Amino acid sequence: MPTPTNTPALDEALALRALEALEQDPRLSQRALSRELGVSLGKTNYCLRALIDKGLIKLQNFQQNPQKLKYAYLLTPEGIEEKTRMTLAFLRRKEAEYQALQAEIAELRERVGKNAEGQSQ
């Protein structure tokens, strides 16, 4: 899916973590989400704006609330679908990394074993 030129590029791992956090608690403030993600408030705001621009979340204002600044970030159906796609891509990437790491460990064990045999003789 091409990114429109006016929509900022977004770190997929950060976007996925944000979508997961907002799915769990749509009423998270930007400050709380920032703490949850471990990134600056500015980066959190940038991420939220990008997710809104892409139509993955929508901002809902609670009109009944005496504190008019209370919002909820709700995942759209497209957001739920994209979160699922991103999770699957993340899982595939991590599985490939895991397999590469297992192969590297096996190779290192083989080298260490050969070196140990050579030293004991």
Determine if the pTM surpasses 0.85.
Answer: no
Percent of the chain with pLDDT over 90: 69
Per-residue burial over 5-39, b = 16 or more CB atoms within 10 Å of its CB, e = otherwise: eeeeebeeebbbbbbebbeeebebeeeebbebbeb
Model pLDDT, residue 46: 94
Residues 6+ apart with CB under 8 A from 55: 76, 78, 79
pLDDT in tens, 61-106: 766 656 556 778 999 999 999 999 999 999 999 999 999 999 999 9
- What is the pLDDT at residue 9? 62
- What are the pLDDT digits (tens) for 3-43? 444 445 678 899 999 999 999 999 899 999 999 999 999 99
Every domain of the chain and the residues it spans? 12-120
- The CATH number for 12-120, chosen from 3.20.20.70, 2.60.120.10, 2.60.40.3670, 1.10.10.10, is 1.10.10.10
H or E, element range at 118: helix 77-120
